[in-house]
Amino acid sequence: MTQLAPTDRAIIAALRGDSRMSITQLAQTVGISRTTARARLEALVAEGRIRRFTIETDQDVEGEVRAITMVELQGRLSRNVIRTLTRIPEVATIHATNGAWDLVVEIRTDSLVNFDRVLREIREVPGVLNSESCLLLAHVAG
């Protein structure tokens, strides 16, 4: 993918602050016309730069199971693994990293049973060699 234009970076930054803002609010925040804001937003979605609009909840939601899963990949299949993981609804974020693990995946589910199902699904993806998960307990800072 190509480098983002300054306007596109500003749009993404504004939406990170409030993904529900209207096109009019977005245009005012970024300092562009409403027509340009709509066109750039549609292009960012079409290009896959913006994949979803979501909400952020309290850090400790009653009943929510959150985990960080480190994943080791078979090198030549890494793009396919990442593409497959992005299709799992419970996968909140995916980060490439260095060191012993290739990816860090944040998983959010509503139960341990569903967490177990998602973890199994991740481990069965062709190209996933190994994984290790840590359940996130109480939020303590930040």
Instruction: Report pLDDT for 60.
Output: 55
Q: Rounded CA gap, 11 and 15, in Å? A: 6
Indicate if the pLDDT at residue 57 is higher than 70: no
In Å, what is the CA distance from 99 to each residue of 30, 54, 72, 124?
38, 30, 10, 22
Torsion of CA 76, 79, 82, 85, to 10 degrees: -90
pLDDT digits (tens, 9 = 90+) for 5-25: 889 988 888 888 788 899 999
Question: What is the pLDDT averaged over residues 30-39?
Answer: 95
Question: What is the pLDDT averaged over residues 93-118?
Answer: 93
pTM above 0.85, yes or no: no
State which H helix or E strand residue 107 sits in: strand 103-109
Indicate if the pLDDT at residue 61 is higher than 70: no
- Each residue of 87-104: b (16+ CB within 10 Å) or e? eeebbeebeeeeeebbbe
